Structure formats: C-alpha cells, structure tokens
Amino acid sequence: MASCLTVSPLLVQLQSSSKIRPCKWNRSFSTPPFTTKASVSPTTSLPASEAGKLPMREIPGDYGLPFIGPINDRNDYFYNQGTELFFNSRVQKYNSTVFRANMPPGPFISSNSKVILLLDAKSFPVLFDMTKVVKRDLFTGTYMPSTELTGGYRILSYLDPSEPAHEQLKRLIFFLVKYRSSHVIPEFHSTYTTLFQTLEKELADKGKADFGNANDQAAFNFLARAFFDTNPSDTNLGSDGPSIIQKWVLFQLSPILTLGLPKLVEDPILHTFSLPPFLVQKDYQRLYEFFYNSSGSVLDEAVRLGISKEEACHNVLFATCFNSFGGMKILFPSTVKWIAGAGVKLHARLAEEVRGAVKANGGKVTIAALEMMPLVKSVVYEVFRIEPPVPLQYGRAKRDLVIESHENAFSVKEGEMLFGYQPFATKDPKIFENAEEFVPDRFLGEGEKLLKYVLWSNGPETEKTTLENKQCAGKDFVVLFSRLLVVELFLRYDTFEVEAGKSALGASVTVISLKKASF
C-alpha cells in the first residue's frame, strides 16, 4: 500500500536458472564484510548509558570530481562491480559501514547524487526518524520521476509528513485497506486456488511452470476483487493490468535499474535521460479509468476528507499498482524460492501446522487460525529479513545530527542526503546470528524480540504506521498476504521443487514439482 514498497517493474532474467530441490539454499547476495567476533551476541547493542561514548570519526569517502565522480560511481554500481560489490568494496576500503559516495542515476537525471551511506543495523533506522530526516520527493532516491506519470500530482509516497496533504492521503489509504478487509481472506483463497490450478496444468503439459507470470495475474486480480469488488476480466482492462503496470513503473524506475543490456545501449537510454512520459500515457489512462470506475466508495471518502476524486484516484492507483502489486510481484516469488530451498523437513512442519490450525477452526482459514501458526509467521518474517523487498531508503537531514554505527559516531550537516541499503542492515551479524542463512525458526519464542530489526516497511516491524510517519499504511496487510500464500501452499501440497534464477530485482521462479497433500 502507499509508501510501502519500492519495487522492480520488470523482472528480466539475467542469468540461467538453477534447480532448487529440497536442500539448503545459498543466497544470491555476497556476504557484507562486517568485522565481528565470534563471541558477539546476536542481539548485541549499546546500552543507552554508552550513547555518546563512541569515538567521533570524520565520515570517510568522497564524491570525486563534479560530473565525473557521479558517472564513475554509476558505472561501478551498474556495470563494473554491481550493487553488492559496490557497497562491499567501499566498506572494506574505508573500514566503515558509514561513508560518502554517489548514488545513481547522476547526470543528467539527478542534480545531486551525493549521499552518506548507512550500511548497518544501528545507523540505518535514522532514516525512519521524522524528527531527524525529511522525506520530501525521496521515494525513488536522488531523483523524482515526472508527475506526468501520476496525473500531474505528487503522490503520497513523495510527501513528507510535514505537508498537510500527507495526513489527508494517508487517512484515505487507511480507509482503503480497511473498508473491505473482510473480503481479503476469501478472495485470496479463490484467486490463488486458480493460480495453483494453472500451475498444475502447465506442469502436466510442459514439465515445468512459470510462477512469475501466473502470480502477476493472480496478484492484480486479487487486489481488484478484494479491495474494489471488481473482476478485471469483466472490464475493458481485461488481462492487461499486469503488463501495463510493468511498463508504467519502468518509466519511473528506469534510472536505477539495469536490464542486462550492453552498457553502451542501456546507460544512455535508461540512466542519462528520463524516458518520455507520453509514451505510456494511453496505457496509464486505461488503468486510471479502471480504478475510477471501481473505486466509488473510496472516492466518496476522499471527498469527505477534502481530496478531489481525481487526486484520490491517482493515489489509489499508485498504492494498488506500484506499492501492493509490485510488492507481491517481488515478495511472493522470493517466498516460494526460500521455502522451496529450505527442504522437506520444513515443508512437513509447515503442512502439519497449517492443516492442524485450519482443522481446529472449522476447516476455514481465519485470523484465529493464522494466529495458531507461529512457524508460518516466523518463516514470512525471515523472508522479509533476508531478502527485503525494499532495498533502498533515503532521507535528508533535517538538522545537524550525530549518527552512530556500532564502532563510531559521525557528524552530519543539515541538508545532507542519507541513504541506506537495507539488505546490509537486516543481515548485520552483530544483530543476527548466522545472518547470511535462511533460518525458518528465527522469530519463534524469544526470537520475536528480533522483529524490531526487520525493517522492510519503512520502519521497524514492531512499530505501528501512523499519520505522522512514513511507515507503510498497509504494513499488516502485506504480512497477511504473505502468510496466506504459505497457508494456501501447504493446504494444497506436501512439498514442492523449483528452479530459481536472478532477475533485474528479485527472483524468477519455475515450478518443477508439486506433491499434492497426503493428509
């Protein structure tokens, strides 16, 4: 939902896939080179009494020569090193998880690419503190896409809480996610039953089935039916929703994506100049008309809140298509990938837990049944932790600050841009034991205390979204959707196998085996 998820619009396969049978999964990211000792507790943190005792250090790193420095860093980020090595190499070079560098896209799309990077779990949360940072026009980073892509409006995701429209629009999104909340579970079951039937048929016909394409259509259909009581196939939009959304979001995120094209082709087209909005305006208008015709109750609420129906519709469209659909497009394949790789023992435990809880609740999936599934909940949070769907976070210092990593304190001046790469913060080994491993039980029992370090929603998982912060308005629903996916999987199957490959962002998943439920 709004302010929730910055996601990839186009999952283009860049590498050949590899078969994932029930066995230990090796994550695709390289290990961040944090320096830590074996004796460090996985929950080590400095007590409040030690605040201010860390040695002050000047922030290392530099931005290079004007124009040249940002381009050099852009080439490293996309082509010479790649994202993970870009960060890792500088952590090693400066012996610090806080340093200065340029973030793409740079010239000519971004007028100022200078940022201070925060790559550990202690410094990262300053990006959520609205007393310390400003979030105005920073949703995508050091540049902002043209408002021509959103009907001429600055959408909620780009508003700072200090702006009056932020409260109005966030109230509207709260209304959107709640007023038809009772339809979420039954519509999810219906839609994803159809998805699994489609996969089974494709698997029988071809020996394998593409989860990604089927999930895209299912995700959009589910959101439309659950929240707007509309079946897209019964409208002029038909089945075109997912493809239009991908094209539209590509025009917004192309400056920070690589699609695997040759550098001499890709860099000038995607990273040097913005794609012209008029090329996607007709497609966007089809989406707009779909949501305007389907959102009567939501638009009436908008008028009551003092928002025009037109502005409300563009925000509802963005929240549904960019945030929610985009999140499901990235998160669901990732969830299937990690669970498949964890093996048959985990599958057996999940199947037993899911089926037992549903049986105890009259054979139906209910909120009460979900609360009887702690392992499902832990597994979902572990997916959020190990492969967060929102990797990039930005904020501008509201005033002069002192920011602390585990080892040092750093002085930041008012107006400086702060940037955090979330996968490093959520795999900080000074917080998480075996941080690079997928541990399904991590958040069971006492492990629940670690949820404050799960940061996917633009804030700690243990905090609530409010009108005053930038945390995802639909945070709890996103977690619910993910838990429902696991439940539907293990109501239907004992175990499954997939082939997983890399995409522009996230994972591509091909199902190669489905074993129907035997009990």
Beta strands in 388-517 (DSSP E): 392-397, 401-404, 409-412, 417-421, 493-502, 507-516
Backbone CA torsion sign across 213, 218, 221, 223:
negative
The CA distance from 198 to 224, in Å, is 19
Cis peptide before 322 (omega within 30 of 0): no
Structure-token pair, residue 132: 């310390």
**For the chain, first and last CA: distance in Å?**
36
> Of 144, 161, 162, which is closest to residue 153 (Cα–Cα)?
144
Known binder of ligand: residue 313? no
Distance CA(270)–CA(148), nearest Å, equals 18
Residue 403 three-state SS: strand
- Alpha carbon distance 39, 307 (integer Å): 55
Name the residue type at position 268. Answer: P
Q: Say how far apart CA 241 and CA 221 lie, in whole Å.
A: 9
Question: For the stretch 298-322, what's the b/e string if a residue is b when 16 or more beta carbons lie within 10 angstroms of its beta carbon?
Answer: bbebbeeeebebebbbbbbbbbbbb
Residues 412, 397 contacting (CB under 8 angstroms): yes
Distances (CA, A) of 158 to 162, 166, 263: 12, 9, 30
Phi/psi-derived region of residue 64, left when phi > 0, alpha when psi is between -120 and 50, beta in every other case: left
The dihedral through the CA atoms of 127, 132, 135, 141 has a sign that is negative
Kindly report the length of the chain.
519
Q: What share of the chain is helix, strand, coil (3-state, %, to 5)?
A: 50, 10, 40
- CA–CA separation, 234 and 293 (whole Å): 12
Residue numbers in the known binding site are 472
Binding residues for heme: 472
